[in-house]
Structure 1
Amino acid sequence: MHQPVVLQNCRLVFPDFIAPGSLRLNRGRIEQVRLDVAAADGDAEVVDCAGDFVGPGFVDIHNHGAAGVDFIDGDIEGIESALAWHQRQGSTSVLATLLTHPPDMIEAAIHRHLEGEKGAEIPANFAGIHIEGPYLNPVKKGMHREDWMHDPLPAEYQSWVRAGEGRVRILTAAPERDGSLEMYAWLRSKGIVGSFGHTTMTWERAQLAAAAGASHFVHVNNAMEWPTRATNAEGWMQTHARGIGSFLSTDVFTGEIIGDGWHVTPELVRVLVSAKGLDRIALVSDASPLTGLAPGNYTVATVDVELRPGRLCMIADGSGLASSVCSLLDIVRNLVRWGFPLLSAWRMASWSPARIAGWSDRGILQVNSRADLVRLDSQLALKGVWQGGKPVART
């Protein structure tokens, strides 16, 4: 017999305010939200949250894996392990993000995730697929293999979307690639977010891509260009907006911030959030498969990587960063430590990414939303996670 659950004596975290209250959970959804601390109905299991913060589970729309497992090549057991690691840290919705690989490997990875989901072999925090590459610019390759990059091919990306059966939510490309504008238009027609990343695009190209249907920037500040200055034909220095200038100046664009302290400095996080607002910024982990592992030397997607103390993950030759090794909870804590209100950090880790990905029933405490929840105490220590109204085991 199914029994409702009431979480009482909570400090409920909404997008715009925090207030004392209680939640009634039933059949995987939030059945009731009360702005008081009243006792539960007699038919429910009662959980006293002792005045802790209870808010929507974190929504991570850019995440490559954890616990030594890469979503691009992990088997179903490995995918389960990586998703479970993030679920235990409060990420109750994860877009499994597929790094640049040959097209058949990308499609095979999509099939494995759907097979695991249909067989209930992977956790319910699997929320879909984010394809990052192979339509990127080698000049800004980062961790992506240059020899696997190429221009968008309709037969490829349309096949991936068909294989995903509605689960492909974001596709990231460099808009300067031939065929990208046509791809963005097709993605928009299918309700998929067309995204920019690993790009040297100009402001003009960004505007064309926006008109075609692109709307999102992955890991703002990383693998893209800030405004540059160059001597024009008249002989004086002129500033060109480039990618970051396009992001800051175009209302339709949303973007991600990797708040690990390495990819974007705390002061720059403040600049970006101030410029765009909380609703247009999604905090993301961009978690490496090395997330949760000890420092050492590893290989990720054929690239040698050094995981250093202090959770700094570098390409072994020193050429750049190699994703983060943080959970989204770590990043929320970082922002609070840097002076952001908890409410703002939680919003950018839940409500905002959910809206960017196109979900209305995640990332918010409201009746009929998914009962995916996180409980933190006043020191932001994790005290509980609920997925679909059921507590997630901590070990």
Structure 2
Amino acid sequence: MRISGRIVTPTGIVEGSLSIADGKIVAIRKGKAEAQWILPGFVDIHTHGGGGHTFTTGDAAQARGAAAFHLRHGTTTMLASLVSSPFEVMAEALQAFAPLVAEGVLAGVHFEGPYLSHIRCGAQNPAFLRDPNPSELTELVKLANGTLRMVTIAPERDGALEAIALLREHGIVAAIGHTDGSYEQVTAGVAAGATVATHLFNGMRPVNHREPGPVVALLDSPQVVCELVADGVHLHDGTLAFAAHSAGAARAALITDAMAAAGMPDGDYDLGGQAVVVAGGVARLQRDGSIAGSTLTMAAAVRQAVGAGLSMADVAMMAATTPARVLGLDKRLAVGCDADLVLLDEELKVTGVVRGGLPQ
């Protein structure tokens, strides 16, 4: 297979064509190019669902539907994110999603909680929040057998630092989020092994010049990749650009934080057992108006980030290469790499998706 266009490679934009064989990129050549963008397939490490389907109930059929929806919008690699849940739901999800991980439908599971701050719980169900329990977490790691890839934790909770170290020991990414922790508590979490900031700014104590809090601690930690929800709601475009410039594209990852309502009409929905109302494409909890995830796709996030003034090269890195690296994957547009691609027109809308060298 041969595809031509403006190819966004790790070393710059090449006008020309790329060739694919056996699921890999085998050549990239300069030359005559079609009027389209060729980006690495998007990698979303934080999404709860989409297209009317959810990951949060641990239902395999729902998960397939959500993954298929996001694949159509250019996401070739994704984690299935749950919200804070009882142990039983977490365990069932790991078992139900394991076959999907084995098939390559999903790259793994992300638990956003339940080891989070009550004060900064956002759309998390406060009834399920709790301190990390070593025996519970150890049991989940055993059940996962490699399926669990990331867990979000508030580092100020009792036992959180030990939990972060346990996750690191088992090769599972520890993320810091939904935290009211101080600068010192968050830097202690990073020192314990946390390497991701869950939707930076959102679900966190705000910045104060006398108590910089989580945002400054995470932005200033060179080993931390900062998730950014580029929908114009979670972050003002100026904040998005500031965070991307501060962290650099190699430390910034676009995510959707999407829920089942992504790609669906406004109306009433559910997120982890909580009533959500979507109006004007914005999802909020019915009970208190808190933002409840998003209705975003990665393609829309790319358009928002470019509109905020970020370069296409940086946005491609933030939408694919950087989040892939969080998972220990190499998803670049380079010879020898997987042929996971998304084709965008001049308006940056998806016109084609290739995964493993095959059109989707």
Which interval holds the TM-score relative to the shorter structure?
over 0.9
Which amino acid letter does the alignment assign opposite residue 348 of structure 1?
M
**SS of structure 2 residue aligned to 1:210:** helix
Q: CA deviation at 1:62?
A: 0.3
The structure with more radius of gyration: 1
Partners of 1:208 and 1:337 in 2: CA distance: 36
- After TM superposition, the structure 1 = structure 2 runs for residues 166-315 of structure 1, keeping only pairs within 5 Å, are 166-228=146-208, 239-309=210-280, 311-315=281-285
Aligned structure 1 segments of 4 or more residues deviating by more than 6 angstroms:
none
Partners of 1:91 and 1:131 in 2: CA distance: 19
Q: How many residues align?
A: 360
Structure-1 residue corresponding to 2:63:
79
Partners of 2:134 and 2:337 in 1: CA distance: 35
Q: Call closer, same or farther: CA 1:329–1:125 in 2, change over 3 Å.
A: farther
Partners of 2:338 and 2:105 in 1: CA distance: 11
Partners of 2:170 and 2:272 in 1: CA distance: 29
Structure-1 residue corresponding to 2:291:
321
Partners of 1:335 and 1:70 in 2: CA distance: 25
Contact 2:42 2:298 in 1 (8 A): yes
Structure-1 residue corresponding to 2:120:
140
Asked if 1:99 is matched to 2:83, the reply is yes
TM-score by length of 2: 0.95
Q: CA deviation at 1:74?
A: 4.7
Contact 2:241 2:309 in 1 (8 A): no
Partners of 2:78 and 2:218 in 1: CA distance: 24
* Structure 1: stretches of 5+ with no match in the other structure: 39-48, 230-238
Structure-2 residue corresponding to 1:41:
none
Asked if 1:344 is matched to 2:324, the reply is no
| Identical-pair percentage | 32
Structure-2 residue corresponding to 1:25:
20
Asked if 1:6 is matched to 2:2, the reply is yes
Which amino acid letter does the alignment assign opposite residue 368 of structure 1?
G
Partners of 2:273 and 2:56 in 1: CA distance: 12
Structure-2 residue corresponding to 1:383:
351
Partners of 1:388 and 1:203 in 2: CA distance: 42
TM-score by length of 1: 0.87
Comparing 333-342 and 98-107, the one that deviates more = 333-342
Contact 2:219 2:226 in 1 (8 A): no
Partners of 2:336 and 2:230 in 1: CA distance: 31
Which amino acid letter does the alignment assign opposite residue 337 of structure 2?
S
Which amino acid letter does the alignment assign opposite residue 24 of structure 1?
S
Contact 2:58 2:92 in 1 (8 A): no
Comparing 189-198 and 156-165, the one that deviates more = 156-165
Structure-2 residue corresponding to 1:233:
none
* Structure 2: stretches of 5+ with no match in the other structure: none
**SS of structure 1 residue aligned to 2:240:** helix
Please give the per-residue CA displacement for 1:2-55, whole angstroms capped at 9, x wherever unaligned: xxx222x3211113411123222222222x1222238xxxxxxxxxx7242112
The Cα RMSD (Å) is 1.6
Partners of 1:197 and 1:300 in 2: CA distance: 18
Q: Call closer, same or farther: CA 1:23–1:189 in 2, change over 3 Å.
A: same
